[in-house]
Structure 1
Amino acid sequence: MRIALFPTCFDDTLLPGTGRAVVDVLERLGHTVDLPLARTCCGQMHFTTGYRPDAVPLVRRFADTFTGYEAVVTLSASCVGMVRDHHPDLAARYAPAELQEKVARLVPRIHEFTEFLTDALGVVDVGAVFPHRVTYHPTCHSPGGLRPGERPLRLLRAVRGIELVDLPASDSCCGFGGSSALEDAAASPARLADRMRGFLDTGAEVVCAADNSCLTHIGGGLARLDSGVRALHLAEILAGAEGGPR
Structure 2
Amino acid sequence: MNSAPHIGLFIPCYVDQFYPQVAIATLELLEKLGCQVSYPLGQTCCGQPLANSGYERETEGSSRHFLELFNQFDYIVAPSGSCVLHVKEHFPKLPDMEKEQNRVHDRIYELTEFLTDILKVEKLKGSFPKKVGFHSSCHGLRGLRLASCSELNIPHFNKAQQLLKKLDGLEWVELSRNDECCGFGGTFAITEEALSIQMGKDRLADHLSHEVDVLTGGDLSCLMHLEGIAKREGQKVEFMHIAEILNQAIR
CA distance in 2 between counterparts of 1:206 and 1:99 reads 43
Partner of 2:108: 110
Q: Deviations over 1:171-214 (max 9, x none)?
A: 21111111101110110111112122211111111011110000
Partner of 2:175: 167
Deviation of 1:239 (Å)? 0.6
Q: CA RMSD in A?
A: 1.4
**Is 1:210 paired with 2:218?**
yes
CA distance in 2 between counterparts of 1:156 and 1:242 reads 11
CA distance in 2 between counterparts of 1:213 and 1:126 reads 27
Partner of 2:128: 130
> Residues 124 and 202 of structure 1: is their aligned pair in 2 closer, same or farther, counting only changes over 3 Å?
farther
Contact 1:128–1:237 (CA under 8 A) maintained in structure 2: no
Q: Deviations over 1:115-168 (max 9, x none)?
A: 100001111433332111111111122111011121111111111221111111
CA distance in 2 between counterparts of 1:67 and 1:141 reads 23
The secondary structure found in structure 2 opposite 1:141 is helix
**Is 1:100 paired with 2:110?**
no
Counterpart residue identity of residue 231, structure 2: A
CA distance in 1 between counterparts of 2:31 and 2:160 reads 19
The secondary structure found in structure 2 opposite 1:232 is strand
Partner of 1:153: 161
**Is 1:233 paired with 2:237?**
no
Report the TM-score when normalising by structure 1.
0.92
Counterpart residue identity of residue 146, structure 1: L
Contact 1:207–1:231 (CA under 8 A) maintained in structure 2: yes
CA distance in 1 between counterparts of 2:68 and 2:88 reads 16
Q: Which runs of 5+ in 2 are unaligned?
A: 148-157
Contact 2:50–2:59 (CA under 8 A) maintained in structure 1: yes
Contact 1:222–1:230 (CA under 8 A) maintained in structure 2: no
What count of residue pairs does the alignment treat as equivalent? 237
Q: Which runs of 5+ in 1 are unaligned?
A: none
The secondary structure found in structure 2 opposite 1:239 is helix
Report the TM-score when normalising by structure 2.
0.90
Deviation of 1:242 (Å)? 6.0
